[in-house]
A and B are shown apart, each in its own frame.
Chain A
Amino acid sequence: MRYLASEAKVLYGENIEERCLIDQWISHLQATFLVPLGQFYDIVLGRKMVTRSRYLALNHEIKQHLQQLDSRVKIQSFLCGTYMSLADLSLACDLFLAYRLVITDKYKKNISYLMKWYERVSRKEEFQRVFGHEWPCKK
């Protein structure tokens, strides 16, 4: 993905500092947030069975990560600053299932900045061509 973005000169920063920041965010998310999120999706989609306590622990861990991300996009429009980057695209792809299946209206109030960020990204025509129009979790 990084190779393609660098070849296309799209979403991958305009200088070495921006690229480093984008790389740092992608790697950070892969090493932290995406690990419990992937396990959580496996449970929600019925691929894996776990105990209730494990489920609640994962839920708690994911919420902590979401809060951290919310704080990040509270001070800046996008993860790496004022421009949309590969890191935003990557995170939005990982969150789209959570947005549809897990993050309820009630919980959205706790991560309102992250939700605004998600809507900014998911409103893009390119995003809708791959994922279709967004529909939020109802329950």
Chain B
Amino acid sequence: MDFYYEVGSRHALKVLLLLEFCPHLKVNLKELSQLENRESSLAAHY
């Protein structure tokens, strides 16, 4: 759940739930979290 608090949005829960449905997918949550944060910053900026 660290990922949820880092990103701090319902969107993160959706990603976690999606990952439950596809356990074969290898995802680095920390990298994904950083990517999400970058996207949020960009979205807020523009």
List the interface of chain A (C-beta within 8 A of B).
Answer: 1, 4-5, 7-8, 10-11, 86, 89-90, 93-94, 126-127, 129-131
Contact indicator per residue, chain B 2-29, by CB within 8 Å of chain A (1) or not (0): 0000000011011111111110110100
Q: Contacts A1-B11, A94-B10: A130 and B17 contacting too (C-beta < 8 A)?
A: yes
* Assembled-state Cα–Cα distance A94/B22 (Å): 20
SS class of chain A's interface: helix, strand, loop or mixed?
A: helix
Residue pair A4, B27 in contact (C-beta under 8 Å): yes
Residue pair B17, A86 in contact (C-beta under 8 Å): no
Residue pair A93, B17 in contact (C-beta under 8 Å): yes
List the interface of chain B (C-beta within 8 A of A).
Answer: 10-11, 13-22, 24-25, 27
Within 8 Å CB of B27, what residues of A? Answer: 4
Q: Contacts A93-B10, A94-B10: A4 and B17 contacting too (C-beta < 8 A)?
A: no
Q: Shortest Cβ distance from A71 into chain B, in angstroms?
A: 24
* Assembled-state Cα–Cα distance A93/B15 (Å): 10
Within 8 Å CB of A90, what residues of B? Answer: 14
Contact for B20 among A1, A86, A94, A130, CB less than 8 A: A130
Residue pair B20, A129 in contact (C-beta under 8 Å): yes
Q: List 29 A-B contacts (CB under 8 A).
A: A1-B11, A1-B14, A1-B18, A4-B18, A4-B19, A4-B25, A5-B18, A7-B25, A8-B18, A8-B21, A10-B18, A10-B22, A11-B18, A89-B14, A89-B17, A89-B18, A89-B21, A94-B10, A126-B17, A126-B20, A126-B21, A127-B17, A127-B20, A129-B20, A130-B16, A130-B17, A130-B20, A131-B13, A131-B17
